[in-house]
Amino acid sequence: MRSFKVMAAGVGMALAVAACGAGGAGGAGRSGTAEQDPSAPLELWTRTTPGGDGEKGMKKLVAAFEAATGHKVEVTAIFDDFETKLSQRAAQKDLPDIVMNDSSQLGTMVSQGIVREVDLGAIKGSDQLLEPALAAARSADGKTYGVPYSAQASALLIRKDWLQKVGLAAPTNWDEMAALAKAFTTQDPDGNGKADTYGLAVPGSTKRGYASWYFSNFLWAAGGDFIAKQSDGKFKPAMTTPESVAATKWFRDLACTSKVVQPGAATMDTPPTNETFEAGKTGMYVVGPYLMPRFDSSLGKDKYQVAPMPKGPKDSTVLAEGGSVYLMAGSKNEAGQNAFAGFAISAEGQKIGMQGEKAFIVQLPVNKGVDIASVRPDPRWKLYADAYREHGRYAPSIPNWTAVRQSTADTVNALIADCGLDLDAELKKVDQKLGEALSQQGIGAS
């Protein structure tokens, strides 16, 4: 899960207190808008490993922006303790000007009062943004607080050589997917004479809500949901609807009944799950496009294929995610903030962000005028782009999506870890927790 990161509740509280106590979203520690200086250098924070490919890609984009506009930008890459360090800067009333963060963090950052509202009229090219990406940048109040610059969606990676061994084709529906997972588990597709292969790789850990994150691809395709939006804009828990119950049972049966999920899935986040696929222990993996360069190198491009997600009981909806440019409150150079956001979403910026085998920061373009094939002729990327545009669905923009994701992850994890648990009873429990969380956020349906 490249783009989803969970913000600890304690850190979130610290940020909210620091920002609001110091002046709120309007000034992030200042009273009103800071005195403007359009020549002031911009400080940009990106959540990625220092010295890694993500930082290199961001610096490439920034260098092009500086050359095109004359603005100066200092890039800081932070991965460990990102929120803690941002909290410290908020407490000092000295936030960076720009933060490149996950789109799913919008609700949290808005609640903390550390980002300013985006005036799309001041962002050049904002009218070229794909509507699903732009919608994910709107908060529950309908205002825009981020500028999306990258998107991604899920597809199904399959061991191509294993398909040939068991004599089956890529699955097009859930029944075919379950049958293929069973064949991969029982028919020795690697030919080593041992019962050591499994059909589906599942990151089922509670860490960062992985179990819920992964399961959302199946829940939504079945017509189920974690929470359901009502006509008045409020939300109610939805894990006990017939569609959600059926999806949860089907997913759980993969682990508990047919036993086609890798052992230890309930304790695995994405790094060890990635390893099961590239090490030839699992034959299918639902994931975004960002792992293709890694698997091309470690496993071999000829050993696996990318297929659309099999159609569920309702449709082929898949999880959509992405990254946004957040314009932090209290900046001395709002014109520079706007200019950078506009460059990041321009055709030039999008293409620069997609370039390279590893050091790319744009997974799928959000500018509707950019054809991914013009930068990446590999048809697998086009498949992902089509999945995003045709079937992608973002998590809802609520004040604290993390609370919902974590509660549901705890439940999904428990159900695949303990096959003796009563499924209906566990889903009723999580619906109660979700109802309480929604009420606390002020968005619970009465």
The verdict on 105 and 185 lying in the same domain is: no
Bridge partner list, 141: none
**Residue 2 counted as domain residue:** no
Residue 445 falls inside a structural domain: no
Residues 14 and 32 in one domain: yes
Q: Hey, which residues does 100 pair with through a beta bridge?
A: 46, 325
CA separation for the pair 345, 247 (Å, rounded)? 37
Q: Are residues 337 and 198 in the same domain?
A: no
Query: Is position 332 within any domain?
Result: yes
Please tell me whether residue 97 adopts helix, strand or coil conformation.
coil
Name the band, by pLDDT with cuts 50, 70 and 90, for residue 15: very low
Pairing of strands 42-47, 98-102: parallel
Sequence-ordered list of residues with C-beta below 8 angstroms from that of 81, at least 6 positions apart, any chain: none
Residue 214 and residue 122 share a domain: no
Closest CA to 396 of 271, 227, 148, 252: 227
Answer yes or no: are the C-beta atoms of 276 and 262 closer than 8 Å: yes
From the list 12, 29, 18, the residue with the least C-alpha distance to 108 is: 12
Q: Summarize pLDDT for 143-202 with one digit per residue, the tens.
A: 999 999 999 999 999 999 999 999 999 999 999 999 999 999 999 999 999 999 999 999
Query: Is residue 140 situated within a structural domain?
Result: yes
Give the tens place of pLDDT for each residue, 239-290.
999 999 999 999 999 999 999 999 999 999 999 999 999 999 999 999 999 9
Q: Tell me, yes or no, whether 446 lies in a domain.
A: no
Q: What is the CATH number of the domain that holds 60?
A: 3.40.190.10
Q: Is residue 4 part of a domain?
A: no
Do residue 175 and residue 314 come from a single domain? yes
Please tell me whether residues 196 and 230 are part of one structural domain.
yes
- Residues 412, 384 share a domain: no
pLDDT tier at 325 (50, 70, 90 boundaries)?
very high
Q: Are residues 121 and 35 in the same domain?
A: yes
Range of the domain at 195: 155-319+400-440
Mean pLDDT of 3-12: 39
| 387: its two tokens | 């999945």
Look at residue 21 in the predicted model and tell me its pLDDT: 35
Q: What is the pLDDT of residues 278-288, one digit of tens each?
A: 999 999 999 99
Q: How far apart are CA 88 and CA 18, in angstroms?
A: 8
Residue type, 7: M
pTM for the model:
0.90
Let me know whether 190 and 311 are in one domain. Answer: yes
The closest of 444, 267, 295, 284 to 378, measured between CA atoms, is: 295
Contact 313, 119 (CB under 8 A): no
When computed from its CA atoms, the radius of gyration of the chain, rounded to whole angstroms, is 22
> Could you tell me the pLDDT band of residue 89, with boundaries at 50, 70 and 90?
very high
Predicted confidence (pLDDT) at residue 427 exceeds the cutoff of 90? yes
Task: Please give the pLDDT value at position 87.
Answer: 85
Same-domain check for residues 175 and 253: yes
Domains identified in the chain, total number: 2
Clarify whether residues 336 and 429 are in a common domain. no
**Which residue's entry shows tokens 């609700």?**
107
What is the number of alpha carbons within 13 Å of residue 71 lying toward its C-beta? 28
Domain boundary among 393, 409, 427: 393
**Which residue matches tokens 């619906």?**
431
pLDDT at 446: 81
Predicted local distance difference test score (pLDDT) of residue 20: 39
Backbone angles phi, psi at 35, to 5 degrees: -60, 130
Please report whether residue 103 resides in a domain: yes
Q: How confident is the model at residue 32 (pLDDT cuts 50, 70, 90)?
A: low
Same domain, 176 and 292: yes
